[in-house]
Structure 1
């Protein structure tokens, strides 16, 4: 079985960052850190004009944070560090000077919705339904909430959060602004992603960088905010309610 990893390839000035985990592309802390570092590296590369964020496989885009790692948390410090993983990736995407296109081929859960929301432009297949399941186990999507709310609005974010066991369709996500387009299959998705990325890569890089900064105006405080949110989740994961909920999944 292929080991979890993050890779970066470059073609026609487009940097393709791909992450993989055999458990439905769930993200343990080490993979999240590698993803954060790879996004930062790609953002600094003169060979890359535009970034595409994608995952391996044809089923799940990202199942969120590693559940096995979540169950193993036994201190507030470990909890904060665990939930800081997605905070690091979202902030890396936010401050990256290159536009990031999200290629969402399948379901996105929890942190996976956060990654899609932190992309500057998202394309998906009809199978890319989304769910925020955190509240059902006694925590909440605190770290990813700013990115999700910024993309789809507080009303849609709260609807997803409170209906924590429900998947919302790709078309619903498109109607709320998370996805720009939804395609019938991966082949059509990949053609659209490549076409858009290569077209953008031919544009004035200074204009693209300034446009990116406009997209993210008003988020300079996120470096602190997301760390504070990670502390909240880090404490909640140790609650009696959450520990009992997690035991049911063992």
Structure 2
């Protein structure tokens, strides 16, 4: 096993040992900053990744450790669990139960990106989650749609998705609206034949139009986002062509 992120010693692959290491890394300032974003933990994420790396063991034990850490309900422990778990060894029902328990934003984000997107059950989860009445679950479904727009668009009905976005995004709850907007931008970027319609929907709905964007960063407002990423892609293609 690798050395501890905090002390340089070995972390035993047990829940108690991992949580003790996380407790040693707890920082009040980090917790205060995280809590402003809804994440109730005070561990620097780079150091948290170090804890996961230091808790290596055989695959079967590693998977069980991940499940046991998840079961604690503790946010930092769950983040370590998501770094340890083998997504392909989780059933669709297990991942579905996890997304319904994932209330902390960073846990939700890592669960979607590190587990659901790598799961052989991705398509089943996408279809199940997208129409869920829980806005966070539905948002996860739309995150999977965005992933498929880039990776496997042939499984999607892109014009129908634009119909749904046009009808629902404006009045959707914040988290769901954000994920639907990501899909709108993805379609505009990846599907040239639908780009004009995607931009038009974004311009008319004006979702995230006034979102504060730091200098030199791309606005999440779909028309600006689409235009900028397409420009970059065309510029890169010209440079390599």
The answer to which structure, 1 or 2, has the higher relative contact order (CA under 8 A, 6+ apart) is 1
Higher strand share: 1
TM-score under structure 1 length normalisation: 0.27
TM, length-normalised to structure 2: 0.27
Larger radius of gyration: 2
Between structures 1 and 2, the one with greater helix share:
2
